[in-house]
Amino acid sequence: MAEAHQAVGFRTSLTSDGAEVELSAPVLQEIYLSGLRSWKRHLSRFWNDFLTGVFPASPLSWLFLFSAIQLAWFLQLDPSLGLMEKIKELLPDWGGQHHGLRGVLAAALFASCLWGTLIFTLHVALRLLLSYHGWLLEPHGAMSSPTKTWLALVRIFSGRHPMLFSYQRSLPRQPVPSVQDTVRKYLESVRPVLSDEDFDWTAVLAQEFLRLQASLLQWYLRLKSWWASNYVSDWWEEFVYLRSRNPLMVNSNYYMMDFLYVTPTPLQAARAGNAVHALLLYRHRLNRQEIPPTLLMGMRPLCSAQYEKIFNTTRIPGVQKDYIRHLHDSQHVAVFHRGRFFRVGTHSRNSLLSPRALEQQFQRILEDPSPACPHEEHLAALTAAPRGTWAQVRRSLKTQAAEALEAVEGAAFFVSLDAEPAGLTREDPAASLDAYAHALLAGRGHDRWFDKSFTLIVFSNGKLGLSVEHSWADCPISGHMWEFTLATECFQLGYSTDGHCKGHPDPTLPRPQRLQWDLPDQIHSSISLALRGAKILSENVDCHVFPFSLFGKSFIRRCHLSSDSFIQIALQLAHFRDRGQFCLTYESAMTRLFLEGRTETVRSCTREACNFVRAMEDKEKTDPQCLALFRVAVDKHQALLKAAMSGQGVDRHLFALYVVSRFLHLQSPFLTQVHSEQWQLSTSQIPVQQMHLFDVHNYPDYVSSGGGFGPADDHGYGVSYIFMGDDMITFHISSKKSSTKTDSHRLGQHIEDALLDVASLFQAGQHFKRRFRGSGKEDSRHRCGFLSRQTGASKTSMTSTYF
């Protein structure tokens, strides 16, 4: 997602004066502190699990074991082989009348020791099993005998009903790849985009690095991988995100959309009430660990650590680096409407407010006629300013308006009730959807609190959206929450026939609290400057969203291909037609197979992909020749993706080596060159993780349309995509209007043409191009498939508004 932009800029954060001072500490001290932070997190999680009764296992399992031992003792059997008698001898002698009590205590102590030993053994065995990655490298649809055996053992050792964090103590640590393999893969990845002269020079730098510095830097990484939970993730969070001094808006945040074709209710307050209630229900389930852990391919658990900071979290700005503030609980949300801030309680007598009660509170805000105070309306623009500037202003704000600032930063999340409508319209579907994306990504520059973990945006026509800050977690985490929210507020909570939330208002509830900001005069100019900068940044972003409805995942599956690889190779063809050259391509892949893993980069512009693109542009090449090259390119992409997921990628390893070199004050021309590269094409797939929550057959329009992010380079593109059901793919494209080399709409047209051209290589896909070209509607309206979905309203029996 937006991490590509941050990854490009992190080298700048290491060269500022302040950062140099921070990196002057010995590298061993930094590694020690990384491990210390890891152990603190483990102890915190252990204590929380112990208090909630889920660690080391359910108390019922201990009670069952204790009862079995007592029963065996009653039957004059000794399962302890004499150990309980020895324990009884060590216990104090309280007199003959307490002989039975000593026996019970001895049995309890033996049961506890046996219980802990069995659980520890299970965790160790499961960790060893989860270290196996052979299943990931097998061909799609095939499963070897060792993998079948491994899968059976994982299911046995995993238990019947694992909770969200059940696997955390069993996940393996992310391995440190061989530095020789990493350098070799790096050189292979840059070969298609470098001239012969530049590549030869890069190869010389790489060999010099391997000869002089690699072994020392690698030793420190191996030491950290042994001591800390993850050798790269904490540095990634710190140097890529928290040390970045760039504005969060566009550069770091990303957005997620509502249903594309359906709005369940046109009432803004009602939609906000159901959505907020659904989000808080998700938080309740999260606190009780009732959310099932994510299982890759239904069998391999992923790390759940990032879920901990979804709610009650704020990124606090600092002069040199930010920090993440996470509260254990919060019973209110902060609301912004027409330049005014409100505090809305979410609980009454320790119980969650009903959706109808929340709707009532939001309606009170909408009907509040009080005007915004001077400069209050644009106050949130400070969160879109450069981080150092915002940190300095926040110091004054904290002394002058501490209570209001705490109400916002201490909220469960931020809610923005926008005064304008958004979403798809019949009159101009393409432009309205682009404007919807832009409103979610940047808004007006002063109506989002970009520091909060996420902002729920509710437009005046009932359309929803989400703006997410990136440092605390990656897209699949917020996406999981968003899927639950949309499904719950629409299908579970629902709306009455008049569009209101179900239930009855509560007239006894106190009105929402209007926050009062005592803004000193010196802050006024800072707000004006921040607003000006935010508007410039916002107006420079060119967003384009289009659903491609001619085919989707089902067709790609029939071709026996990976859907993600299919799109990635098609994107290479589209970008080449747009720019006339190849470029480094960033695709985000997850490393959550490992403890506290986050992401890795898949370098999708491979030699095999370039060979395919050149063949497609060569009129002398036949379709069978192009198809053969396409399959080779797809296989190469799949190999890179699997390597990245199994901890054998390139970029995170080189990143960590570079950080260690800076701690040691070692100059490495090779690492410096690696981290000066520009990602002109940044891509990401938005995963759909909970299809069981949606009935795509009876309600095909009730699926999320994904989300997007800003471009990673001033002359590049940001492209995300989501497979909506089986027969639609929605693309989100962004670029900078100031660049003369990019145009989001032009790339969108190239993407569509590339998809059709690739599909036509397969016999089953040749009719797509004939159908499209024969329609005589080769414009954006037809491409987006907007109007073709209007007839779908008859499939829906729910109260809803189309467009």
pLDDT for 467-478, tens place per residue? Answer: 999 999 999 999
Catalogue the E-assigned strands of 360-481: 414-417, 454-458, 464-468
Residues 6+ apart with CB under 8 A from 495: 264, 265, 270, 274, 501, 502, 799
pLDDT value, residue 791: 35
CA distances from 91 to 88, 109, 127, 559 (A): 5, 11, 36, 71
Confidence at 690, pLDDT banded by 50, 70, 90: confident
Residue 427, pLDDT above cutoff 70: yes
**Residue 129 structure tokens:** 């099993």
**Domains, the chain, ordered by start:** 56-132+142-161 (no CATH), 179-228+543-770 (3.30.559.10), 250-541 (3.30.559.70)
535-549 pLDDT, tens digit each: 999 999 999 999 998
Both tokens assigned to 548: 């491609």
Mean pLDDT, rounded, for 556-581: 95
Judged by average pLDDT, the poorest of 149-153, 717-721, 738-742 is: 149-153
pLDDT confidence tier of residue 802, bands split at 50, 70 and 90: very low
Q: What is the pLDDT of residue 51?
A: 55
113 vs 717 pLDDT, higher one:
717
Start-end of H helices in 161-229: 179-190, 196-212, 214-227
Q: Does the pLDDT value for residue 764 go beyond 70?
A: no
- Determine the Cα–Cα distance for residues 608 and 771; give it in Å rounded to an integer: 30
- Average pLDDT (443-447) is 94
Rounded distance between C-alpha atoms, residue 333 and residue 412, angstroms: 5
- Chain-centroid distance of CA 53 in Å reads 29
Q: What is the chain's percent helix, strand, coil content, to nearest 5?
A: 50, 10, 35
767 Cβ contact list (under 8 Å, min separation 6): none
The catalytic residues are 470
Pairing label, strands 541-548, 729-736: antiparallel
User: What would the mean pLDDT of 750-764 be, rounded to a whole number?
Assistant: 91
Q: Which residues contact 450 (CB under 8 A, 6 or more apart)?
A: 247, 248, 249, 253, 380, 383, 384, 467, 469
pLDDT of residue 46: 73
Q: At 733, phi and psi to the nearest 5? A: -120, 140
| pLDDT given for residue 117 in this prediction | 85
Entry field: residues in the chain: 803
Question: Distance from first CA to last CA of the chain, Å, rounded?
Answer: 27
pLDDT of res. 641: 96
CA distance 521 to 534: 21
Label residue 801 by pLDDT band (50, 70, 90). very low
The pairing of strands 707-709 and 254-257 is antiparallel
Cα separation, 736 vs 536, whole angstroms = 11
pLDDT tier, 767 (very low <50, low <70, confident <90, very high otherwise): low
pLDDT tens, position by position, 144-173: 888 888 888 888 887 777 888 888 888 999
User: For 257-270, what is each residue's pLDDT tens digit?
Assistant: 999 989 999 999 99
CB-CB contact of 465 with 256 (8 Å): yes
Please name every residue paired with 414 in a beta bridge, in sequence order, or none if there are none: 334, 455
Cα separations in angstroms, 383 against 187, 521, 596:
40, 18, 28
Averaged pLDDT score across all residues of the chain:
88
pLDDT in tens, 324-372: 999 999 999 999 999 999 999 999 887 999 999 999 999 999 999 999 9
Return the residue matching tokens 């090449």: 621
pLDDT over threshold 80, residue 48: no
Reported as a single tens digit per residue, the pLDDT across 390-424 is 999 999 999 889 999 999 999 999 999 999 999 99
**Confidence grade of residue 792 (pLDDT, cut at 50, 70, 90):** very low
Specify the pLDDT at position 793.
37
- The SS3 assignment for 495 reads strand
Residue whose tokens read 């007592």: 70
Strands 585-590 vs 717-723: parallel, antiparallel or unpaired = unpaired
